[in-house]
Structure 1
């Protein structure tokens, strides 16, 4: 169910070129359409990030599925940019409602002693779902009729099936309050979480920023600079980053959550360096290697961050604290992407990408150096 919801958020990725041809908008508009989703996620996390702690997991997730269905309907009905903006807005609302609530729900449904595996399942569902979106849309757009319609019709059917599954799951919040008890929350952390949160948040920000650029800009780079017009291949390249993230999360079980954060920072740095080489020399193989290395680094860092933050959080604040971590992550997936879009006009796609890479490399290097001096300890 978590994976189905997240699939919808990246479904338009290999289709942006078709929308550009149909509605005649610029690369900057592509990044803004993409970022509307992330800002909607941030808004939900700030205004209702703790909603599922109050009213229960199932009502919040049902609302998220309704928003996902509404997003699919908008894309199916799209006759201009307002439809795309509305579809992305609803997609962001669905993801915002799901991120904290579904992650906490998976952890609570896990059997006794299964907390570490449940953390992997939750983060893998998140990243795996994000990877399935461009892969599914790319395959259908390349090899099936109705490239701007069929992917969203398929997703609408998956959302309906997920709603049926959700209605059969037990509620895990025992003491529930009314909806009016949900209050907007300012980003804030219990004292015990703060030492863990800083480096975890920086690593999450950089990892999501790298994914944001891959998701919004890489199809244009593949088409314009590398002459790759196969939408299935474009979707696969983006999907590789998310699937590699899942592999990185799985590797945390072997390297340990304490070491996964600094190792993840190193992987992100390698991914950024490879992406810089791809932009400089127009090599597809470097784009693929960047997706693989950056994805593994993001997976290591993000699961380590989530484990550390969840372990340090009081039980009654867990969903709210996880939501705060996702706020930082989604700022990473939105603000740098718009920055890249603004720079494409004056300095070109290559120059904009290199500026982005330099900024992210400084951030992730600082976080990695801090973690080497003061390792994060968790019991996950």
Structure 2
């Protein structure tokens, strides 16, 4: 049979493109609040510690989504889980549109986290499933790029709308709801690549790392933890750094700066395959150290250019180390345990995106943003250096 595939049957690169667009929309929604945190702080009267706790609620949701729903798409099909993730994304936007209470920020962040937890694994698997057989490796890179691209576009979209359009705290979420509708249509237009299990097994999977993999897992996890801590810093605290330290209150500029770290991550992930796993992880650790030096210097010298450079370099290091670490862990895992081991790896990463940032917020409340930022940069650099030492020792 020839001609265009009917609605609901798109596969190949056409299907990849449709699911990729839905992936961008889902991840974009999770970072929309980033440039709005200073305005929320004024409206609700909270400090930097509360900002970081609101942000970290997202990581709790992601972890819960990964543990509870991460394997459901293997049992129930990819499309039902993608649609569930988009529904939760819409509910998250709705929570941010509700007026007047700090509690709705926590609800919105939790829902967006669960949505991201579902999409992170399910959309990646769907893209790989739908790609032509010879393009599976390329499809994996596409999935990683649209994931980070969506995360980076969220702050930029929200920043531009907040700065230059009416309804500064609400319009971006109205736009997001429209994008979710479009993303839903994209998912419905693709073919279901997985056959539903006759007896679905939906019980949560336990975190697990076999003893023979723990050394390699530790090296990858330490580097990944450091890289995701940097992502947490820029998506939770950079608006306060830019406003209170550098005097930059333009929300569009805040969004553009946050975009830089995710753009750097996409570049690092792209280069990871070219460097190979053995080189990408140590190079990524080195770039993370260099990026943290630039970030710390930018705070001490109050220089926006250095902060942007630090975001790009640290993002590049995060992308290299993340993709190399994930590749090494997944490649060394037994096929029947790969899902559980990979989920454990992602849980460590999302602990990294939340816990250090809360610590930074608590320290900032006591000693100020600049000293807290310098301590944070030093600790992340130390973690990256630890991972680098572990990699070098493993080679010897």
TM-score range, shorter chain: over 0.9
Tell me how far apart the structure 2 counterparts of residues 273 and 362 of structure 1 sit (CA, whole Å). Answer: 11
Corresponding residue number in structure 2 for 1:59: 80
Aligned equivalent of 2:239: 219
Q: 1:89 aligns with which of 103, 107, 110?
A: 110
Equivalent residue in structure 2 for 1:157, among 173, 178, 182: 178
The whole-number CA distance in structure 2 between the counterparts of 1:84 and 1:331 is 20
3-state DSSP class of the match of 1:85?
A: helix
**Counterpart of 1:227 in 2: which secondary structure?**
coil
Deviation at 1:193, TM superposition (A): 5.0
User: 2:215 matched to 1:198?
Assistant: no
Match of 2:342 in 1: 322
The whole-number CA distance in structure 2 between the counterparts of 1:25 and 1:343 is 15
Structure 2 gaps of 5+ residues are 1-21
2:313 to 293, 302, 315: 293
Correspondence for 2:327? 307
Who is 1:18 aligned against? 39
Q: TM-score, normalised by structure 2?
A: 0.90
Aligned match of 1:102 in 123, 140, 147?
123
| 1:104/1:318 contact within 8 Å kept | no
TM-score by length of 1: 0.94
**What is the aligned partner in structure 2 of residue 168 from structure 1?**
189
| Structure 1, 275-284 or 133-142: larger mean CA deviation | 275-284
State the 1:314 CA deviation: 4.4
Report if aligned partners of 2:71, 2:202 keep a CA contact under 8 Å in 1: yes
Q: CA shift at 1:191, angstroms?
A: 6.1
Per-residue Cα deviation, 1:127-180 (whole angstroms, up to 9, x for no partner): 11100000111111111111111111111111111111112222233352555x
CA contact (8 A) 2:128 2:136 kept: yes
Partner of 2:262: 242
Structure 2 residue aligned with 1:348: 368
8 Å contact 1:45–1:324 — kept in the other structure? no
Structure 1 unaligned regions, length at least 5 = none
Contact 1:201–1:328 (8 Å) recurs in 2: yes
C-alpha distance in 1, partners of 2:318/2:131?
A: 24
In the alignment, what sits opposite 2:382?
A: 362
Structure 1, residues 6-58: CA drift from partner, whole Å, max 9, x if none?
10111000011111121211111111110001111112222332222222222
Structure 1 window deviating more from structure 2 (290-299 vs 252-261): it is 252-261
Cross-structure match for 1:251: 271
Match of 2:7 in 1: none
Which residue of 65, 73, 76 maps to 2:97? 76
Alpha-carbon spacing, 1:375–1:150, altered in 2? closer, same or farther (3 Å): farther
What CA deviation, in whole Å up to 9, does each residue of 1:172-211 have, x standing for no partner? 33352555x2112221135675453221211111111001
SS in structure 2 of the partner of residue 374 of structure 1:
helix
1:30-41, aligned counterparts within 5 Å?
30-41=51-62
Misfit runs of 4+, over 6 Å? none
165-174 or 316-325: bigger deviation = 316-325
